[in-house]
Structures are given as C-alpha cells and as structure tokens.
Amino acid sequence: MTEQQLAYSLLSLGYKDYIASRVLINNGYPGQGLTLASSAVEKYLKVILAVNRKTKKEMGVHLDRWDKLKTLVTECYTDISKFLDERFMTLLGKAYQARYYYNLSRPITISEILRSPYQRAIEEYTPPRKTSWK
C-alpha cells in the first residue's frame, strides 16, 4: 500500500468514525461517542504522518501517548498544539485507554471518562430530543 493509499484509507475511516461519534453523542451515548471521536482524531493525525512518509512502525503511536504523537506530527508538519485543545486530546487519550483496557497500568472506571468537564458540557448544551413530529 502506498503512502497515498494509506492516507486515503485513514481519512475515509476517520470520517466514518467522526460521523458515528456525532450520532452517538447526539443520541445520548457520550461514552461510545467519545471512543469513536478518539479513533477519528487519531486517524486524521495519522493522515499527516502517512503523507509525510512515516512508516507504519512510526505511526504505531496512539492517543494514549499524546505527547509522542504530537511530536511526530510536529516534526513533519507543524506544531499542532496551537490548533488543538490539550485537555480534549488528553481526554481522547483516556478514551483510547478505556477502549484497550488490557494495556492499563491501573483500572479506569467509565465514570472517570463520562463525568469529565466535556461530558458536563455535552449534557448542558445538548438540545432536548423531540418526542414527536409536529
């Protein structure tokens, strides 16, 4: 697979994860939506790595190691930290850890992730669901 093919594949999969994340969050499933948001953002960042000819081994860094991934992207593109909210990226890293629980150094409860400031913001700004079509 060429770098361009890999980048396109990551971009396509990332977009699907993004759409699924929005659907889940908007329908009251913030934990599942956060997991897919984590996957989408990671894939989008790896598109940058792929088009800059990073190997699959170099791209084997995930959001749970945000500092390393940020460094890789910065080396071949630009300092992305000025465009991204560090707290949100840390939260996505925790969602990644919850997704792959066998690599955890300590147990993480779902409430650690769900009761984050972002969860409260989602709850406060989510419009009420329509119960009927009028």
Q: Is the pLDDT of residue 43 over 60?
A: yes
- In the chain, domain spans: 3-125
Q: Is the pLDDT of residue 32 over 80?
A: yes
Question: 88 φ, ψ to 5°?
Answer: -65, -40
Q: Taking residues 96-110, what's their average pLDDT?
A: 63
Q: Is the pLDDT of residue 117 over 60?
A: no
Q: Taking residues 89-114, what's their average pLDDT?
A: 68
pTM greater than the 0.75 cutoff: no
Question: 130 φ, ψ to 5°?
Answer: -80, 135
Q: In the predicted model, what is the mean pLDDT of the chain?
A: 79
Distance CA 21, CA 33 (A): 4
Q: Is the pLDDT of residue 16 over 90?
A: yes
CB 92 within 8 A of CB 37: yes
CB 30 within 8 A of CB 62: no
